[in-house]
Amino acid sequence: MIDRDIWREVYSALSSNRTRTLLTASGIFWGIFILIVMLGFGNGIEVGVNRSMQGYASNALYLWGSRTSEPWQGLAPGRAVGLNNDDTTAIEAGLDSVAHLAPRARLGRWRGRNDVRRGTKVTEAEVMGDTPALEYIIPMDIQVGRFINQLDIAQRRKVVVIGERVHEELFGSDVNPLGERIQIRQISFTVVGIFRPQRYGKDRERLSSTVFTPLSTFQQVFNRGKRINYFSMVPVPGVRSEHLALEVRELLAGLHRVAPHDRRAFGDWNSEKDYLRIRNLFTGIRGFIWTVGIATLLAGVLGVSNIMLIVIRERRREFAIRKSIGATPAAVVRMILLETSTLVGVAGLAGLLAGLAALQIIDLFTREVASADSDVLFSTPFVDMRVAVAAMLALALAAVLATVIPARHATRIDPAEALRSE
Amino acid sequence: MIKLQDVRKTYQLGDNRVEALKGISLSIESGDFVSVQGSSGSGKSTLLNILGILDSYDSGSYTLNGTAIRDLTQKQAAHYRNRFIGFVFQSFNLINHKSAVENVALPLYYQGVPRRERNQLAMDYLDRVGLAGRAEHKPAELSGGQAQRVAVARALITKPALLLADEPTGALDSETSAQIMQLFRDVNDEGVTVLIVTHEEDIAAQTRRTVQLRDGDIARDERLE
Ligand SMILES: Nc1ncnc2c1ncn2[C@@H]1O[C@H](COP(=O)(O)OP(=O)(O)OP(=O)(O)O)[C@@H](O)[C@H]1O
Ligand SMILES: [Mg+2]
């Protein structure tokens, strides 16, 4: 029998003591508000960081030759170890745990640039010798044309895939460069594709000033013989990058007459560790947010329970009067539960709306720096509405449960006792 | 209408036992007008609360309108209080945040009577106690006599068979006391059984039967006229 009457009763009870009502409501309001804002922030940071990691194979392994640190088979320590095509063949033939292997060669030093020319126009770019497998290491976004393919490798074609920036500087962004020629160290290459990095920030700038040539061509025209600079590779599913690194080291140690336990002869780095660390960080942040949020809400709920106890004590006489004129225990409980859930519902909804509004305002101020192309580790804060609504419902339920005990107190009031005239 | 047989009630306060009623036997016919007198602490309120099913008793028996009142559930007790009994208290016991008419209508709310209908009835009863003009006033805005008349209207609105009043004039001056007693006489004339607790002789003298309590026992029970 929940009709308009009971709402009138609830309204008159709640409005008869505004301060008390507001105090109770504010606990709930802040609980929801803080939870929403924190969730929104957490999501914003997560999206931002994920964006900055986008364009990296999450479990890629990089491995290069360095200098030996231990004597072995009569060879003195300090010897430089260089990688070459035979290593590629050996890894491909000998290791099942490698899913994709991309040997890479570079013109010049680590991250060094070279002049790339077209007629009189010159720009600086990193010049790389690569194989099609690179597509599995750096997710490719080929805007026009194609990436290097097996035929390029087999026929040592003088073709090149150029980064966005190189295209812009040598051709202008609205000129189709396919089939045009560019010169690297006086050698002509035909442009077959434009590459657009999927990464953000500084990485993006660096990658868009890169040109990719077929590894075989690169080694021939730049007199590299069989030498390569480093391997990028991805393990088959289920194999950790760290493990793969050990396997590759062992194999290469045999080929290069390096002591089996010489840690320094090769260098390696994998993104998996970082990736996992960041994933764990997010699990931690999310756990923290929920812990704080739930603790705040719990405090709010306990507040409601507490205040309702006080309210019922204050209104002992009123409940006794109601009982003396025929209120059943069920009617009393219903009234108290309805009062609480109305209060919690309205306060929670207000907190939800205020939280969403706060996120909107934060977004207004951060939109500039957090836009899609930036490498700021923050993005538009948002909240999954299903989560928000579920949190609200859980809160309302908790608050109602927390009121059951005070409500039972109310039904146990002895009217004879409470109405005894003072 | 009321039949009490050897009703006992003991309050336990820590180690202190207070025998509030020491075996009360009392019959009240339908339509009677009874006053209960006695010094302070003699058990008047206790008796009235038991009669009104606001309180329980330890032993003996209580029959109201042929129904044995014993071990009722709270819900059943609420039902009897709502349908058969009207209460008037010394301290009025109105709900402060409700207007006079809302207070009067409240018992009908618990009967599920629609709002419009019960407010209409409440206005009729307020009119009857001469307070139609104060319908929207809150209890704090009423004088003692007015508040008690509102309380009487609230007690009568469910057309109870039994009207119980605990010192209804205790907080009122003699003029307003007279008004209230007039109301009770009118109600009694309509056939409602009325029982009032009082310590004032002249109030008791206006009833038809007076029961004198002393230390939880009936000391005297006489019919006036
Ligand atoms: N809830 C209670 N707990 C303990 N003792 C009580 C309780 N209610 C009443 N008593 C005791 O029972 C006795 C009868 O009390 P009761 O209220 O019935 O007296 P009364 O005749 O109405 O007195 P008064 O004229 O002062 O209202 C008193 O001694 C009182 O102290
Ligand atoms: Mg008394």
Ligand 1 near B43 CB (within 6 A): yes
Q: What whole-number distance in Å separates Cα of residue A344 and Cα of residue A303?
A: 11
CATH code for the domain defined by B2-95+159-223 = 3.40.50.300
Q: Mind listing the pLDDT tens digit for each residue in A315-354?
A: 888 899 999 999 999 988 888 888 888 888 888 899 999 9
The one-letter amino acid code at B147 reads A
Give the C-alpha separation, A213 to A128, whole Å: 6
| DSSP 8-state code for residue A76 | P
Q: What is the DSSP string of A288-330?
A: HHHHHHHHHHHHHHHHHHHHHHHHHHHTHHHHHHHHHTT--HH
The per-residue pLDDT for range B1-17, each reduced to its tens digit, is 899 999 999 998 888 89
Query: What average pLDDT does range B139-151 have in this prediction?
Result: 94
User: Cβ of B154 and A325 within 8 Å?
Assistant: yes
Distance CA A138, CA A75 (A): 37
CB-based contact B207:B34 (threshold 8 Å):
yes
Question: For residue A57, what are the contacts with CB-CB under 8 A and spacing of at least 6?
Answer: A136, A137, A138, A139, A234, A271
Q: What is the pLDDT of residues A264-313, one digit of tens each?
A: 999 999 877 777 887 788 888 888 888 888 888 788 888 888 878 887 88
**Taking a C-beta distance cutoff of 8 angstroms, is the pair A190, A158 a contact?**
yes
More confident residue, A282 or A88: A88
> Which sequence spans correspond to the domains of chain B?
2-95+159-223
Q: How close B34 comes to chain A (CA, Å)?
A: 21
Contact assessment for residue B145 and residue B178, using Cβ atoms and an 8 Å cutoff? no
ipTM of the complex: 0.93
d(CA B13, CA A292): 47
User: A406: part of which helix (H) or strand (E)?
Assistant: helix A385-412
The pTM assigned to this predicted structure is 0.69
Interface test with A, best of B18, B56, B84, B106 (most A CBs within 10 A): B106
b/e A54-67 (16+ beta carbons within 10 angstroms → b) = ebbbbbbbbbbbbe
The pick from A316, A419, A420, A421 for probing ligand 1's pocket by mutation, whose C-beta has the most ligand atoms within 8 angstroms, reads: A420
C-alpha B194/C-alpha B182 separation (Å) is 12
Q: Could you tell me which chain B residue has the CA closest to the CA of A4?
A: B115
β-bridge pairing A230-235 and A159-163: unpaired
| DSSP class of A75 | B
Read off the amino acid at residue A251.
L
Q: What span, in angstroms and rounded, lies between the C-alpha atoms of A109 and A226? A: 17
Residues linked to residue A189 through DSSP beta bridges, in sequence order = A182
Those residues with Cβ within 8 angstroms of residue A341's Cβ, 6 or more apart along the chain or in another chain: A396, A399, A400
Q: Which residues of A touch B87 (CB under 8 A)?
A: 324-325
**Residue A42: phi, psi to the nearest 5?**
-55, -45
Structure tokens belonging to residue B107? 């018992």
How far is residue A217's CA from residue A154's CA, in Å, rounded to a whole number?
Answer: 9
CB atoms within 10 A of CB A107: 20
- Dist. CA B14–CA B19, nearest whole Å: 14
Q: pLDDT band for A35, please (50, 70, 90 cuts).
A: confident
pLDDT tier, A47 (very low <50, low <70, confident <90, very high otherwise): confident
Q: What are phi and psi of B192, to 5 degrees?
A: -80, 135
Instruction: Return the SS3 of A127.
Output: strand
Residue A377 has what pLDDT?
67
CA distance B129 to chain A (A): 19
Cα–Cα dist B201/B122, whole Å: 33
Residue A1 pLDDT: 42
Check residue A107 and report its DSSP letter: S
Say which range, A79-93, A133-147, B103-117, has the weakest mean pLDDT.
A133-147
Q: How confident is the model at residue B71 (pLDDT cuts 50, 70, 90)?
A: confident
Q: How confident is the model at residue B131 (pLDDT cuts 50, 70, 90)?
A: very high
Statement: residue B78 has pLDDT above 70: yes
Question: Which atom of ligand 1 lies nearest, measured to the CA of B39?
Answer: 25
Closest residue by Cα to residue B196 from B218, B216, B168, B175: B168
Count other C-beta atoms under 10 Å from residue B225's C-beta: 5
Question: Facing residues of A114 across strands?
Answer: A125
Tokens 């309805």, located at residue? A338
Fill in the amino acid letter for B152. V
On whether any CB of chain A is under 8 Å from the CB of B110, the answer is yes
pLDDT computed for residue B163 by the predictor: 96
Question: Which residue would you say has higher pLDDT here, A204 or A331?
Answer: A331
Q: How much is the pLDDT for A374? A: 59
Residue appearing with tokens 């062992």: A250
What average pLDDT is seen over chain A? Answer: 86
- Strands A230-235 and A98-106, bridge-based pairing: antiparallel
What pLDDT does A376 receive?
64
Closest-CA distance of chain A to residue B162, Å: 13
- Band the pLDDT of A2: cuts 50, 70, 90: very low
Angstrom distance (rounded) from CA A7 to CA A12:
8
CA distance B94 to A322: 10
Which candidate from A317, A327, A414 shows the least CB-CB separation from B78?
A327
Cα A316 to the center of its chain, rounded Å: 54
Q: How many other CB atoms are there within 10 angstroms of residue A128's CB atom?
A: 20
Compute CA A225 distance to the chain's CA centroid, rounded to the nearest angstrom: 42
pLDDT per position as a tens digit, B207-223:
999 999 999 999 999 99
Q: List the single range of A196-210, B25-39, B102-116 with lowest mean pLDDT.
A: A196-210
pLDDT of residue A57: 65
